[in-house]
Amino acid sequence: MAGCNTEPAEGGGDGERPTPKPAATGTLEQLARKAGCDPNVQTDAAELRQANCTTDEGRYVLTTFASDRGLREWINEAKDYGGSYLVGRQWVAVGDPDVVAALRGRLGGTVETASPHHSGDSGGGGSEDGHSGHRKS
């Protein structure tokens, strides 16, 4: 079948399912349009642009980056707070899991999730200098 990539269906059956579509590309405004959002731009800097969006599915934040490295550094820091992230090439959308899933249907991309590293009631207070990863107390 020309022009349609498929991969075997789960469970080893003879059926096939379409492969996920590639992540959308473009400016903040172009991505927002593809997602059905009129972006409310909050940050307009050289390294990143960020907007609040609201669609029928809910609210989310859409951010575009000047570089892949900038995107990855931002995600690595943001994951400390937990959440659901829809990641594309030089962009990320952050929102509730249901909103992120709906956006994936429009924008493609990869869903990444993270649990918060700090519950806020650790009683430690003070500095994070000794933080060494994901240890449970």
Per-residue pLDDT at 91 exceeds 70? yes
Confidence of residue 137 (pLDDT cuts 50, 70, 90): very low
CA distance 89 to 41: 19
Helices (H), 14-115: 28-35, 68-78, 97-107
pLDDT at 5: 38
In the chain the domains, ranked by start, together with CATH numbers, are 26-111 (3.30.160)
